[in-house]
């Protein structure tokens, strides 16, 4: 059994009107692709919402659609009500209030930007100096530790997120993830294990030209060596067509690395599912 634990519906603030998929379209795609469980995890970059950079996520709307879909697909598909919260540590009180207010099964914690700077996806990295980019990377690592210290979430998403944009800008050698990845992420992986926060393996990099999952295979191995066992897998699909992409292959990879279980959630509590 495989599961997709990172999916965005049309409600997600980062999807232009008319471009996304409805909850029902996501469910149909999931069933057609042989999935028995999915988590719908729309974007809420909490600082962006408060400062007006993003439209407010209609969480009640997503929830209403999920409740309807749960009845419609009962016995065929388990649908988790999730959310992806970006920059929670910038506004920890507001983030906690929001998480407590709704009946989430699962909360993704993400770092899409650092204080006072745009989302890494929106930065003009080609025009930035090496020094600026390295400083930004250090800040990123530091703020991810702040997110873990806060810790009020289920899974830590796409930990190598800025690396994707460095690569697209041809600047990835600055970071040299292959050689220095373990040193950059050791404290983060240890903190996640200590906090009981699972590690997401995000498959979007495989279909977006990065050629690797986020994090890459070596960091997943390192997580295991450090004693990490809790892993979720998500496609980060922003449309039904990408739902489930590379999830089976990634589960196989995890198995070959010695992971016997995938982490699932219900009512924000983790439990382990054997990879078969």
**Which chain residues interact with Zn ion by CB under 5 A?**
84, 110, 236
Pick the closer one to Zn ion by CB: 47 or 236. Answer: 236
Q: How far apart are CA 151 and CA 120, in angstroms?
A: 22
- SS3 for 71-140, per residue? HHCCCCCEEEEEEEEECHHHCHHHHHHHHHHCCCCEEEEECCCCCCCCCHHHCCHHHCCHHHHHHHHHHH
Considering the complex, what minimum distance in angstroms separates the CB of residue 157 from Zn ion? 5
Smallest gap from residue 165 Cβ to Zn ion (A): 12
Q: Which is nearer to Zn ion, 71 or 136 (CB)?
A: 136
Specify the residue, 55 or 227, whose C-beta has the smaller distance to Zn ion. 55
- The distance of Cα 183 from the centroid of its chain, to the nearest Å, equals 22
Beta strands in the chain (DSSP E): 3-7, 37-45, 78-86, 106-110, 155-156, 198-202, 231-234, 261-266, 269-274
Task: Work out how close the CB of 260 gets to Zn ion at its nearest, in angstroms, rounded to a whole number.
Answer: 27
Residue the block writes with tokens 């471009």? 19
Question: Considering the complex, what minimum distance in angstroms separates the CB of residue 116 from Zn ion?
Answer: 19
3-state helix, strand, coil in the chain (%, to 5): 45, 20, 35
- Closer residue to Zn ion in complex, CB, 156/175: 156
By beta-carbon proximity to Zn ion, the closer residue of 78 and 235 is 235
Q: State the nearest-atom distance from the C-beta of 225 to Zn ion, in Å.
A: 26
Rounded to the nearest 10 degrees, what angle do helices 217-225 and 177-195 cross at? 40
Q: Which of residues 21 and 110 has its CB atom nearest to Zn ion in the complex? A: 110
Q: Which residue is nearest to Zn ion (CB)?
A: 110
Q: Report the DSSP pairing between strands 269-274 and 261-266.
A: antiparallel
Min separation Cβ 30 and Zn ion, Å = 16
Nearer CB in complex with Zn ion: 4/37: 4
CA angle at 161 for the pair 84 and 38, rounded to the nearest 5°: 40
CA 262 to chain centre: 15
């Amino acid at each position: 059994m495989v599961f997709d634990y990172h999916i965005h519906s049309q409600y997600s603030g980062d999807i232009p009107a008319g471009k996304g998929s409805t909850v029902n379209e996501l469910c149909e795609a999931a069933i057609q692709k042989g999935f028995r469980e999915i988590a719908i995890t729309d974007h809420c970059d909490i600082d962006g919402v408060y400062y007006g950079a993003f439209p407010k996520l209609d969480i009640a709307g997503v929830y209403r659609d999920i409740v309807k879909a749960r009845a419609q697909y009962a016995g065929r598909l388990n649908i988790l009500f999730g959310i992806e919260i970006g920059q929670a540590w910038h506004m920890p009180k507001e983030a906690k209030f929001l998480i407590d207010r709704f009946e989430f099964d699962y909360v993704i914690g993400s770092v899409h930007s650092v204080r006072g700077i745009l989302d890494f996806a929106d930065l003009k990295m080609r025009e930035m100096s090496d020094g600026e980019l390295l400083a930004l990377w250090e800040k990123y690592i530091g703020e991810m530790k702040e997110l873990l210290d806060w810790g009020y979430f289920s899974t830590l998403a796409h930990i190598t997120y800025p690396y994707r944009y460095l690569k697209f800008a041809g600047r990835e050698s600055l970071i040299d993830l292959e050689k220095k990845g373990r040193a950059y992420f050791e404290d983060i992986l240890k903190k996640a294990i200590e906090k009981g926060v699972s590690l997401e393996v995000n498959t979007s990099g495989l279909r977006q030209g990065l050629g690797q999952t986020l994090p890459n295979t070596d960091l997943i191995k390192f997580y295991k060596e450090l004693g990490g066992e809790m892993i979720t897998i998500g496609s980060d699909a922003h449309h039904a067509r990408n739902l489930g992409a590379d999830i089976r292959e990634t589960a196989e990879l995890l198995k070959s690395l010695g992971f016997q279980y995938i982490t699932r959630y219900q009512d924000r509590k983790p439990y382990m599912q054997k990879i078969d």
